[in-house]
Amino acid sequence: MSKILKVVGASWLQTKISSYILAFLGILAILALFFGQFERIQGDGNYAATVFYSDKTGYRIEYWGESNELKDIARGVARAYFRGDIETNGWSLLEVETDGSYPDEIQAYAAGIVEGALTWYLIHMHLENTIRAKCEDQPLEKNCDKLRDALDKSANIWKYYADERAPVDPFWHHVSLYYTQIRGIYTGWKYGIEKSMLEYETDISDLYWLNAVGEVEEIQHKLNISMEDSVFEELPSLSSSFVKVVNESEDGSIKRLFVAQDSAGSYSSMTRIMKRYKLNYHVTSRDSTPAPGSDVEFTGYPGSVTSQDEFYVIKGDNHRLAVTGTPLKIYNNKLWKNVNITEQVPIGPRITAANHLSSNVSTWGHTIARSNSGTACKQWLVVDFNKMKNVSDRHSEKNTITETMLDDDTKHTVVHRAGTGRAKGLIWLIEQVPARTHSADISEAFLEKTYWATYGLPFFVDIANVTHTTKMEELFGTIFSETSSPRAIIFQNGYKNATTLESVIKLMRTNNITAYNETRNKINCNDDNNCILKESEHWNILGLRGDLFEKHKEAYGIIDTKVVTADSKDSLDFVAISSPQFTETKTENATKINKGNLASTYTDQFDDVPVINGLEIRDLIKQQQEEAERETLELLNKDAVKPFQWSKSEFKDDAHEGLPDIWNFGIYRPNWSW
Ligand SMILES: *[C@@H]1O[C@H](CO)[C@@H](O)[C@H](O)[C@H]1NC(C)=O
Ligand SMILES: *[C@@H]1O[C@H](CO)[C@@H](O)[C@H](O)[C@H]1NC(C)=O
Ligand SMILES: *[C@@H]1O[C@H](CO)[C@@H](O)[C@H](O)[C@H]1NC(C)=O
Ligand SMILES: *[C@@H]1O[C@H](CO)[C@@H](O)[C@H](O)[C@H]1NC(C)=O
Ligand SMILES: *[C@@H]1O[C@H](CO)[C@@H](O)[C@H](O)[C@H]1NC(C)=O
Ligand SMILES: *[C@@H]1O[C@H](CO)[C@@H](O)[C@H](O)[C@H]1NC(C)=O
Ligand SMILES: *[C@@H]1O[C@H](CO)[C@@H](O)[C@H](O)[C@H]1NC(C)=O
Ligand SMILES: *[C@@H]1O[C@H](CO)[C@@H](O)[C@H](O)[C@H]1NC(C)=O
Ligand SMILES: *[C@@H]1O[C@H](CO)[C@@H](O)[C@H](O)[C@H]1NC(C)=O
Ligand SMILES: *[C@@H]1O[C@H](CO)[C@@H](O)[C@H](O)[C@H]1NC(C)=O
């Protein structure tokens, strides 16, 4: 399909006349756009744009600048606004809406263009901090090129294959739209850079990579290339998910659900964007029935149309789903042969199809199981908030387990345990590894336990076995145990107290410097990788921070916490914190000392100092009081963990262009307009 991009607002003639002046102004504009807390005089920080389309002229983008009434922004095919709030909140914000009266392919391309054109600078910075820092003129460059080739090839094959099937098969239609949207981002990104007159490089394979961050590890193993030398590679994933149900009313008839996730990542990758896509797609390119999942919100990164840390909230007419995925590690090298992103569909398009096409957790689970590429091995928890209504009266039936072989070309077994009782369809657990997907409706067990957590260790025995996690447990002990690993214990001990948004967040961000130090002193082995595996005490912490370790220090760890919550009636509350874990230190007010009592104690001390006068006594008392307060505070803050700060850390030379220096952000609640 050939697409023409006609652009309004860029005068190529002017460019020729005074490109230097414009380039300078361009830089100023960018500075103002992204660092412009001070430059901005009255701007509201919401930069809006619209993409229009007509058969004759093709696509055309219009930037509206700041301070628009967002509700009135021209709709075109796709409109969007962007806020660069990372300095103040740790998050930027992007909301994109398309007009469902246009064909889906045009919506997808326009949605991509408007995103690329508004976020081009963040895409650039994020690439510099992550992929390019790793690949450009580095020893790994050759391996990076191999990976890029594999990603390009996969994208080209699947785009072509999906296009042909889009008129009749919903799955392939949405796979096709996924690739179209990325191509649109490429166009918008290039346009943004051209318009800025900056000579930044653009390459679509960079975008394919940004959209495959969650699966490059498996692809590397398949290609037998190595790009990470992190000690964390051998460990169970540090990311965790936690789902909890609490009684909101005395009789338990109204319940509240919490779905939470911590995700692990490199601190250089903290260019975060909270995105909301309101894409009014249809079931297939011929079927005019609207696709059920039109409203998808997620915590993401620049340039990627899926979350990558895999936390989604999906809304439709009759469903409100939350999806959280945490990685599983494969210790069985035989499994890599089943990874193939040209024979099977990568994770991004499958997630996109599942999000758009599902109105219940069962469809989501079945869609993600289709054409399993064996990449982005994950434990998924999929929750339907709208199924909370009928959970109080339950009855049990027999569990039915089905096992099917799918996909003639690659061996892929799908095991499914159907749910029972009235709560059926509330929550599914899906574990997916190369050649095997195991899913179950765990609603009954969840309501019994009142919580469910995933922390990088398989729940299903067959998955634990086939990934050799079971073997790892035999070799290295509880750190690989689903029931007694340090994080399993934290959840077992902590779930009861996690009954409010605050306490759920507190649990998810459990951390403690004393615990670090104790472990540190215990570590007493050479600097080999097995060493870290043996030191399971190291991992007694949920909000883990690699930068605080004594050995194996890395600017890597938990970088965020997300929670979505609602009861059976009210609307979803979605909050997110972007920061490696830290502790709010107690301030003086928390420890006011009773002055009356202290005064009498202290004055006794001065009885044998006859020359001292009242004022001097008062000053001395004040001094001693302050000292006592400081000591009390120090005691209270003993276990406190200081916020991560680039300039004060040993990692100040790691790539972190455009990132805030100090990471002490609190709860952020996106405020959507459309
Ligand atoms: C993977 O690469 C290493 C060298 O980098 C080589 O020794 C090994 O045989 C390769 N494995 C396979 C299965 O090709
Ligand atoms: C919630 O309410 C149900 C009654 O529907 C009760 O059985 C259960 O024990 C209650 N849970 C808690 C934690 O209070
Ligand atoms: C995927 O499978 C095809 C067909 O079996 C094969 O030609 C191709 O090399 C495989 N791809 C990778 C990356 O191994
Ligand atoms: C889920 O939705 C599909 C249609 O999208 C429907 O066919 C199926 O019956 C639903 N399943 C459940 C358990 O509600
Ligand atoms: C439970 O579901 C039934 C239909 O299956 C519905 O009629 C009833 O109103 C629901 N109960 C509640 C409390 O929503
Ligand atoms: C674990 O896998 C091995 C083959 O790798 C198989 O023989 C064994 O039966 C499996 N055990 C379980 C409990 O699934
Ligand atoms: C849970 O809360 C109770 C009461 O506030 C407290 O005594 C207990 O120590 C808490 N448990 C944990 C694991 O924090
Ligand atoms: C933890 O260790 C650090 C560095 O060794 C030290 O500065 C700090 O005082 C220790 N904190 C506690 C609570 O032991
Ligand atoms: C921190 O860890 C230490 C040692 O494990 C423990 O004694 C202390 O109670 C913990 N502090 C907090 C606030 O959890
Ligand atoms: C904390 O104490 C200071 C003076 O000691 C006072 O000005 C301030 O209002 C107090 N803040 C709170 C939140 O109580």
The tens digit of pLDDT for each residue in 331-350 reads 999 999 999 999 999 999 99
Taking 90 as the threshold, does the pLDDT of residue 666 lie above it?
A: yes
Q: Which ligand is nearest to the CA of 221?
A: 1
User: Which residue has the least CA distance to atom 10 on ligand 3?
Assistant: 340
pLDDT of 8 reads 41
The phi, psi pair for 83, rounded to 5°, reads: -120, 125
Residue 513, token pair as written in the block: 């410097």
In this predicted model, what pLDDT tens digit does every residue of 496-516 receive, in sequence order? 999 999 999 999 998 777 776
CB distance 334 to 361 below 8 Å: no
The Cα–Cα gap between 559 and 550 comes to 19
Between the CA of 490 and the centroid of ligand 2 the distance, in Å, is 22
The Cα–Cα gap between 554 and 627 comes to 36
Between the CA of 422 and the centroid of ligand 5 the distance, in Å, is 10
Between the CA of 37 and the centroid of ligand 10 the distance, in Å, is 28
The Cα–Cα gap between 368 and 365 comes to 5
- Which ligand 7 atom is the nearest neighbour of the CA of 496? 1
* 3 state SS for 126-143: HHHHCHHHHHCCCCCHHH
The Cα–Cα gap between 391 and 582 comes to 37
The Cα–Cα gap between 407 and 434 comes to 13
392 C-beta closer than 6 A to ligand 2: yes
Can you state the angle between helices 347-357 and 170-196, rounded to 10 degrees? 110
Taking 80 as the threshold, does the pLDDT of residue 189 lie above it?
A: yes
Residue 500, token pair as written in the block: 């409010």
554 C-beta closer than 6 A to ligand 3: no
In this predicted model, what pLDDT tens digit does every residue of 225-255 receive, in sequence order? 987 767 777 889 999 999 999 998 888 788 9
Query: Strand (E) positions, 254-340?
Result: 255-266, 273-278, 295-300, 311-315, 320-327
343 C-beta closer than 6 A to ligand 3: yes
Cα separation of the two ends of the chain:
30
Residue 239, token pair as written in the block: 């990311």
User: Which residue has the least CA distance to atom 14 on ligand 3?
Assistant: 340
The Cα–Cα gap between 517 and 511 comes to 12
Band (40; pLDDT cuts 50, 70, 90) = very low
Taking 50 as the threshold, does the pLDDT of residue 186 lie above it?
A: yes
pLDDT of 511 reads 79
Q: Where are the alpha helices (DSSP H) in 166-230?
A: 170-196, 204-210, 216-223
CA-wise closest residue to 232 among 523, 529, 559, 482: 529
Residues with CB under 6 A from ligand 6: 461-462, 465
Band (615; pLDDT cuts 50, 70, 90) = confident
390 C-beta closer than 6 A to ligand 5: yes
497 C-beta closer than 6 A to ligand 7: yes
User: Which residue has the least CA distance to atom 1 on ligand 2?
Assistant: 252
In this predicted model, what pLDDT tens digit does every residue of 593-603 receive, in sequence order? 444 444 444 55
Query: Whole-model pTM?
Result: 0.86
493 C-beta closer than 6 A to ligand 7: yes
pLDDT of 36 reads 45
In this predicted model, what pLDDT tens digit does every residue of 509-537 receive, in sequence order? 987 777 767 766 665 656 555 666 655 55
CB distance 316 to 331 below 8 Å: no
Q: Which ligand is nearest to the CA of 460?
A: 6
Taking 50 as the threshold, does the pLDDT of residue 493 lie above it?
A: yes
Residues with CB under 6 A from ligand 8: 513-514, 517, 638
Considering only residues 511 and 224, tell me which one the structure prediction assigns the higher pLDDT: 224
Q: How much is the mean pLDDT over the chain?
A: 86
484 C-beta closer than 6 A to ligand 3: no
